[in-house]
Chain A
Amino acid sequence: MSVSAAGGVTRVPAVEGWFTLGDEPHLIGCRCAACGTYVFPPRSGACPNPNCDSEDLVPTPLSRVGTVWSYTENQYAPPPPYRAAEPFEPYALAAVQLDEEGIIVLGQVPKGIMAADLKVGMPMQLETDVLYREVVDGVDTEFMVYVWAPAGPTAAKSIGGRS
C-alpha cells in the first residue's frame, strides 16, 4: 500500500499490514473467529487464548482512541535498526489502553509532543507520522509509522502547528 503525498513524495508503511494510512488511520489487529479475543500485531495461526484451539484469526481494525497507560521520552538516539535523524531530536512514546479490545499498544508520539504533555489516563488517538525518509529506486519515499497523539479537548492545543 502506498499513498502519494504533496511534492512528489511517496508514503509507504514502514511495516506491512499493521495499520492503514490516510485521513483516519487505524491499527489492524486480529480477532479470533471462535473466542473473539484480539491480538496485535496481526498474525496468522493459533489464537493466543490457551482455552481456544482456533486457527482462524481474522484481520480487524482496532479502536482509534484509547487512554495512556504509561509514557516516556527518549533523550538519546536508539541504536540501529532504528534510523535516528541527525542531529537526534528527543521524542516521546506512549502505551495506550484500548477499552473495547482490552489491550495496551506501544507507539511513538508525534514529533514535538513530549513527556511533559502526557499523563496516565489521558485520551489519545491514532495518527501516522514519518519514521524516516529515503530514496528507493529513484523514488523519494517516506516510511510511515502509527503514532499516538493526544485526543479530545486538549488535543488541538497539544498538536497545534503540526501539519
Chain B
Amino acid sequence: MSDRDLVVLGVGMHPWGKWGRDFTEYGMVAARAALKDAGIEWKDVEYVAGADTIRNGYPGFIAGSTFAQKLGWTGASISSNYAACASGAHSLQAARASILAGFCDVAMVIGADTTPKGFFAPVGGERKTDPDWLRFHLLGATNPVYFAMFARRRMDLYGATSEDFAQVKVKNSRHGLSNPYARFRKENAIEDVLNSPIVSDPLRLLDICATSDGAAAMIVTSRAFAEKKLGSLKGVPRIRAVSTVTPTYPQTILELPDFATDSTAVVAPPARGFKESLCWAAYEEAGMSPSDMNMAEVYDLSTALELDWYEHLGLCAPGEAEGLLRSGATTIGGRVPVNPSGGLSCFGEAIPAQAIAQVCELTWQLRGQAQGRQVEGAKAGITANQGLFGNGSSVIVSV
C-alpha cells in the first residue's frame, strides 16, 4: 500500500428523507455511527472536516465547529468547507492533507443537510452581480434546465431516447430497493418514468433527483494508526485518490450557473473537459485505469447525466453510454455496476453529505456489507461528482 493512502476506519449515515428537522440531528446520528463502526471514541478524533450547508444559517457555514461542539469540545482542530455538491469530497481532501502532512492521525469527515421543498432557488436577497441570482431572474434557468441541455445533446447527437433515460431510473430504483439509507425504495418501471410530468424537456419528474435531508460521516486515519489498531490492513478499504481539480481554461461546456462558456477564440480547448479531467486525475493519482474499477458511484442529478458519467469515467467511448446501459454492464451483476446504492435517484441530494455518502457506499461494498445490493468480489471503485462553479470530485477506494 502506498504511503499516501488513507484508511477508511469507519463510515456512518443517517437515512435520507424529507423531515425538515435541524440538520445537526442527522449529522450526529451519522457521526455516532461512524465512530462506532471505526471502534474509536470521539475523544480519539484529532481533526473534524465539516462540509457546509448554505441553507441552515450560521451553524451550516461552520460545520466543522458545529459538530465538534455538538459532540463535545475536545480541542480537536477543525475546518469547514463549502464546494457546492463536492463539499463532502473537499472536506475529505482537507482531512487527507492534514493526515498526510503529519498534523494528525485520525479525522472525521462529516456533512449534513436539511433542504427546502421544490426547485433549489438562490440564497435570498437581490444580488444583481451574482450569476446564481441572475440566472434565475433573467432566464428562469433552474438546475434542471442545465441537466436538460446535456440530455438533449445526447438525443440530438447520439440518438438517445426517453426510454434510455427511463432505463437508468429503472436500474437505480432496483439497486436501491433494499438500501436502508435510501429515501425512495420503490421499483419504477419504464412507463412510470415516461408517464411522469415533463419538468424541463426532455427530462421528466422521475428523471431528476429530488432534494433531501440526510447525513454521512466517515473516520479516516493514517496507515500507522490503523495498523496499530487493526494489526493487519488486509481487506480494509483505503482511499487511493481524491481529485478535486477545477476546470482548465477554456471551459467549453455550459455548466451551472453560467450564462456562457469560456471563449475558444484565443486558447484551444483542453484535451479533456472538466468532468473527464476530474475522473482522470483520480485514475492517475491511484495509478489505476477504468478497467480496474469494479463499480462506480456517480452523480445522477438526472438519468441522462449518469450516462454522461459512463463516458467521462472512461467506461465507454463518447456516444456509447446507452449501449453500455442496455448491455447490462452497469447493473449489479454486470461488468461495472454504476450506482449500486441506488444513486441520487433513490436518495435525492443532500448536498454536503452526498459526496461522503458515495465513499460510504464504496466502503460497504468493498467490505462485503452492502446487503441486498452487493457487487460480488469488488476490489476497487470510483466516485464522480460535480456541482456549481467549477466544483467537483472523484475518489478511488480499494482493498
Task: Using CB atoms and an 8 Å cutoff, list the residues of chain A in contact with chain B.
Answer: 14-15, 32, 35-41, 48-51, 69-84, 91-93, 95, 100-108, 115, 119-121, 131, 145
Contacts and interface: CB of A to CB of B under 8 A. Distances in A.
Interface string B258-269: 111111111100
B71 interface: no
B254 A79 contact: no
Contacts of B252: 104
Nearest to A13: B138
Given A71-B152, A72-B200, A100-B265, A79 B121 contact: yes
Which of A79, A107, A108 counts the most chain B CB atoms within 10 A?
A79
A108 B140 contact: yes
Given A75-B201, A82-B136, 20 more contacts: A15-B134, A32-B266, A36-B265, A37-B265, A48-B249, A71-B149, A79-B136, A79-B142, A81-B121, A82-B137, A82-B139, A102-B265, A103-B260, A104-B252, A106-B258, A107-B139, A115-B152, A119-B156, A121-B156, A145-B138
B153 A70 contact: yes
Interface of B: 118-119, 121-122, 126, 128, 131, 133-142, 144-145, 148-150, 152-153, 156-157, 197-203, 249-250, 252, 254, 258-267
A70 B151 CA distance: 9
Given A49-B267, A120-B156, A81 B259 contact: no
Nearest to B203: A72
Nearest to B127: A81
Contacts of A115: 152, 201-202
16 contacts: A14-B137, A32-B266, A70-B149, A70-B152, A72-B149, A74-B142, A75-B199, A80-B121, A81-B136, A82-B136, A84-B140, A93-B145, A100-B265, A101-B265, A102-B250, A103-B262
Contacts of A71: 149, 152
Contacts of A35: 266
A41 B259 contact: yes
A104 B264 CA distance: 10
Contacts of B260: 39-41, 103-106
Contacts of A76: 119, 199
A50 B249 contact: yes
A40 B131 CA distance: 11
Contacts of A49: 249-250, 266-267
B139 A93 contact: yes
A39 B156 CA distance: 27
Contacts of A73: 198, 200-201
Contacts of A37: 250, 262-263, 265-267
A74 B200 contact: yes
B122 A70 contact: no
A113 to B, nearest CB: 13
Nearest to A40: B260
Main secondary structure of the interface of A (DSSP, over half): loop
A78 B119 contact: yes
Which of B139, B203, B249, B264 neighbours the largest number of chain A CB atoms within 10 Å of its CB? B139
Contacts of A121: 156
Contacts of B197: 75
A31 B188 CA distance: 50
A84 B121 CA distance: 14
A75 B259 contact: no
A146 B319 CA distance: 33
Contacts of B201: 72-73, 75, 92, 115
A61 B252 CA distance: 20
Contacts of A104: 252, 254, 260-261
A101 B263 contact: yes
Contacts of A131: 138
Nearest to A94: B149
A82 B198 contact: no
Contacts of B200: 72-75
Nearest to B128: A15
A92 B236 CA distance: 51
A79 B118 contact: yes
Contacts of B265: 36-38, 100-103
A74 B145 contact: yes
Contacts of A119: 156
B254 A108 contact: no
Contact of B254 (A39, A41, A91, A95): A95
A69 B264 contact: no
A73 B144 CA distance: 10
A36 to B, nearest CB: 5
Contacts of A91: 140
B140 A39 contact: no
Contacts of B262: 37, 39, 48, 103
B263 A103 contact: yes
A108 B259 CA distance: 11
B66 to A, nearest CB: 27
A75 B198 contact: yes
